Chain A
Amino acid sequence: MNIPDWKLERYLLGELPPLEAAEIRKRESVDDILRLRLEKLCQSNTEILTQYPSDRMIDVIKSKVEARHQKNSMPKWPLVMAATLLCVAIPFISSPKDLIHSLLGESASSVEIQKIDEDGTRIKGMAPRLEVWLKKNADAEQLTEMSEVKAGDEIQLRYAVPSLCYALLVSLDGRNIVTVHLSKGDSAIPIEPGKMNTLPFAYKLDDAPYFEKFFFLVSSHPFKISEQNLDALLKQKDIQNISFTLRKMVASKGK
Chain B
Amino acid sequence: MNILAPTRKQQIDTLYVTYAPMVLRRCRSLLRDEAEACDVMQEVFVRILTRDSLDLETPSSLLWNVATRLCLNRIRDKARHGISDSSEALLERIACLENTASDCENQNLLSKIFSKEPESSRTIAVLHLIDGMTLEETAREVGMSVSGVRKRLRSLRSTFVELEAL
- Give residues in A with beta carbon < 8 Å to B: 2, 4-6, 9-10, 13, 15, 44-45, 48-49, 52, 54, 57-58, 60-62, 64-65, 68-69, 97-98, 101, 106-110, 138-147, 243, 247
Contacts and interface: CB of A to CB of B under 8 A. Distances in A.
A163 B55 CA distance: 22
What are the 4 tightest A-B residue pairs by CB atom distance, in nearest-first order? Answer: A109-B53, A45-B21, A146-B18, A48-B21
A195 B14 CA distance: 28
Contact of B17 (A49, A61, A62, A140): A49
| Contact size range, B | 35 or more
B26 to A, nearest CB: 8
Interface stretch (B43-51, B81-89, B105-113): B43-51
A58 B4 contact: no
A61 B21 contact: no
Contacts of B24: 48, 52
A20 to B, nearest CB: 10
A248 B43 CA distance: 28
B79 interface: no
Chain A interface main SS type? helix
A64 B42 contact: yes
B6 A10 contact: no
A62 B6 contact: no
Contacts of B25: 5, 9, 44, 48
Contact of A13 (B4, B22, B57): B22
B162 interface: no
A129 to B, nearest CB: 10
Given A4-B132, A45-B21, A138-B1, A144 B6 contact: yes
12 contacts: A13-B22, A54-B20, A58-B13, A61-B45, A64-B43, A65-B46, A68-B46, A97-B52, A98-B52, A108-B52, A140-B3, A144-B6
A48 B37 CA distance: 12
Given A49-B17, A145-B14, A107 B60 contact: no
B11 interface: yes
Contacts of A61: 16, 42, 45-46, 49
B21 to A, nearest CB: 4
A142 B46 CA distance: 25
Contact of B55 (A10, A69, A98, A109): A109
B102 interface: no
Given A54-B16, A109-B54, A147-B14, A60 B42 contact: yes
A49 B17 CA distance: 7
Contact of A107 (B3, B53, B132, B133): B53
A6 B61 CA distance: 9
A54 B16 CA distance: 7
Interface in B104-136: 131-133
A83 B58 CA distance: 34
Contacts of B98: 4-5
B21 A49 contact: yes
Contacts of B10: 144
Kindly name the residue among B2, B11, B22, B132 whose own CB sees the greatest number of chain A CB atoms within 10 A: B22
A146 B14 contact: yes
Interface string B53-78: 11111111100100000000000000
Given A10-B60, A64-B46, A54 B13 contact: yes
